[in-house]
Structure 1
């Protein structure tokens, strides 16, 4: 059997864990300056990235040892995995992707404000709602993984084309028409933040393992 290659797939990492609790949010690094007249000026300090915490469910020692072996692997420099919100498999109106099936969904067009796009290839009348997520890959050397949450949704036309969908975070250079879009387990590339918490236990059960993660664009 060949050694694992990065980023690890859902099946190789997140899908192999027993997850008890999840925090999955968008982090906007910024600073604020308050002027004498009460005006507050905000400035970005870097890219908006997905970040969060995953706490593992209690398990017997052999099962927890399997999960902690994966944590030890992912705690190494350069180790990455495909990270999606485990609470959300598909859009709110198609939770398991049954309606979507194996359709080839792509970006149709990107707005000049880099906050909106249209996608095509959907079933007629397919609804995307605020809170749904989508992902696509762009660029090369390295390939980058974009993950976005819909803020203003819409319903696909009879030809499978959506209206403009507003997203967070803003689209980055490289987002373009023709790129394949994932709506089922949409994921970014992420890495563990240092020093995950390993479980403690007595006798049969172990509990308390958790780790923090952050999206990486490289």
Structure 2
């Protein structure tokens, strides 16, 4: 059986003994300024999500398997799915039990492409600042985005939320009625070149393993 890419969550990320993670973004801006101290910023492209991952100490037999899986990605050639360990579900529904298996869709998209509303939530469902969600659209190729809620919102009796600010901008081509994932949303990522550390083996244990991943839109 040949490997399938991108690695699914059960194939890779769910198995990793993550001890710490720094989940943030890499901005792609151009800055210019004047002698007066004024600074102008131009966003050349949308920011990319980035995760700096450290793995816990484990048996060398176990850790060498994770290292082999990472090497099989052939640097940044192949992708994998990774979720933010700090945001597996919306903060006010930390186990996803209220959300259940409901299908959540985009209800509206703001003209500024910086906001949207959602439909399909249970009445009264709360979305909180920093809640994450995943969305895909199109075909051949399928496009993916990993987005973040920037303000608090409460779903009405009809299951529709207010228009909420999101980060980063709504990608081009994403439209109303696209299905979103709020339960264990994942970002499609690749390993940043030269960032993988397989760890140091001391007898039967290996420690110090980790890698840096960056979003592959």
Task: Pick the TM interval, shorter chain.
Answer: over 0.9
Aligned length: 216
Instruction: Please list the CA deviations of residues 86-114 of structure 1 after superposition, one character each: whole Å capped at 9, or x if unmatched.
Output: 22210001111110001111111111100
**Other structure's SS at 2:183 match:** coil
Aligned to 1:108: 107
How many Å separate the matches in 2 of 1:202 and 1:103?
A: 47
Question: After the TM superposition, which residues 160-199 of structure 1 pair with which residues of structure 2 at under 5 Å, given as runs?
Answer: 160-195=159-194, 196-199=196-199
Aligned to 1:28: 27
Alpha-carbon distance change, 36 to 77 in structure 1, aligned in 2, over 3 angstroms: closer
Which runs of no fewer than 5 residues in structure 1 stay unpaired? none
How many Å separate the matches in 1 of 2:176 and 2:139?
A: 16
Deviation at 1:31, TM superposition (A): 2.3
Give TM-score, length-normalised by structure 1. 0.95
Deviation at 1:78, TM superposition (A): 2.3
Contact 1:145 1:187 in 2 (8 A): no
Deviation at 1:12, TM superposition (A): 0.8
Aligned to 1:37: 36
Deviation at 1:77, TM superposition (A): 4.7
Deviation at 1:68, TM superposition (A): 1.3
Q: CA RMSD in A?
A: 1.3
Instruction: Please list the CA deviations of residues 39-61 of structure 1 after superposition, one character each: whole Å capped at 9, or x if unmatched.
Output: 21111232211012111111111
Contact 1:58 1:208 in 2 (8 A): yes
Instruction: Please list the CA deviations of residues 127-149 of structure 1 after superposition, one character each: whole Å capped at 9, or x if unmatched.
Output: 00001111100222221211111
How many Å separate the matches in 2 of 1:19 and 1:140?
A: 33
Which runs of no fewer than 5 residues in structure 2 stay unpaired? none
**Other structure's SS at 1:62 match:** helix
How many Å separate the matches in 2 of 1:183 and 1:168?
A: 15
